[in-house]
Amino acid sequence: MPELTSVVELEGVSFAYRAGVRVLEDVSFEVSAGEFVAIAGPNGGGKTTLLRLVLGLERPTTGTVRVFGQVGGKSVDGARIGYLPQRARVVGEAPVTVREVVSTGRLTSAGIWGPLRRSDREAVARAIETVGLSDRADSPLRTLSGGMQQRALIAKALASEPTLLALDEPTTGVDAESQDSLGVLLEELRTQFGVTILYVSHEFGAVEHVVDRIVLVRGGIVYDGPPSGLPGVWHDPSHTHA
């Protein structure tokens, strides 16, 4: 993959789920390689939609979305995207284990054919170790606490050793201690491996001290800059209506 400075690029992007009801209007912003960006804003403000546009899960009504220089969510050789969806959960009734869930996150690197290679299994074990679940690797996910389940799903997003990590509301249902350790983990990933991180949340306290930028979204971008420059009224955007 050629060296790219811009990992994510949005130009004049608008989006509507239904005709006439615009969720996002004329959004332009750029995320450079190795940046850690928090996308915040009130519920219903369009931050999850913005992330889905970046990931190619939605197509813009107008404007252009480029990821790794490619338009329209096309995959790029060597570029790996780790994604933790909002309210992520494992569907189905089967007692799927932590290792089995995390292994499914390795598909970007390993492909879908045949069994996992040894190097892939080692990468899965490393991802599980990174989130501190090595001793529960073979436990069924449903036997773990909500916070542990969330950490397992984060490990799934890490298993592909992503170049871009996208997390949507990763701290929902997670205790304060786990939120802080997530912030530390993400900072390590950024500094040690140069991972570009998009962190979508209405509560960004756990990462406020480690992110490069905060992008506040309410139908459009209302603030894009360092956390220190954040207007006081926005400091906790989940309370903007208070």
Q: How far is the CB of 112 from another protein (least distance, A)?
A: 3
Q: How far is the CB of 125 from another protein (least distance, A)?
A: 16
Q: How far is the CB of 106 from another protein (least distance, A)?
A: 8
Secondary element (H or E) of residue 213 = strand 213-217
Beta carbon nearer to another protein, 84 or 197: 84
Secondary structure of 49-75 in the HEC alphabet? HHHHHHCCCCCCCEEEEEECCEECCCC
Q: Which residue has the tokens 């804003």?
A: 41
Q: Which of 95, 146, 194, 226 binds another protein (CB under 8 A)?
A: 95
Q: How far is the CB of 177 from another protein (least distance, A)?
A: 26
- Contacting range for another protein; rule: CB under 8 A; set: 23-31, 108-116, 190-198, 228-236: 108-116
Q: Which of 4, 16, 33, 90 binds another protein (CB under 8 A)?
A: 90
Q: Which of 7, 8, 24, 55 binds another protein (CB under 8 A)?
A: 55
Helices (DSSP H) in the chain: which residue ranges? 47-54, 98-104, 107-110, 118-130, 146-158, 176-193
In what side-by-side order are the strands of the sheet with 6-18?
21-32, 6-18, 62-67, 70-71
Taking CB under 8 A as the rule, does residue 47 contact another protein?
A: no
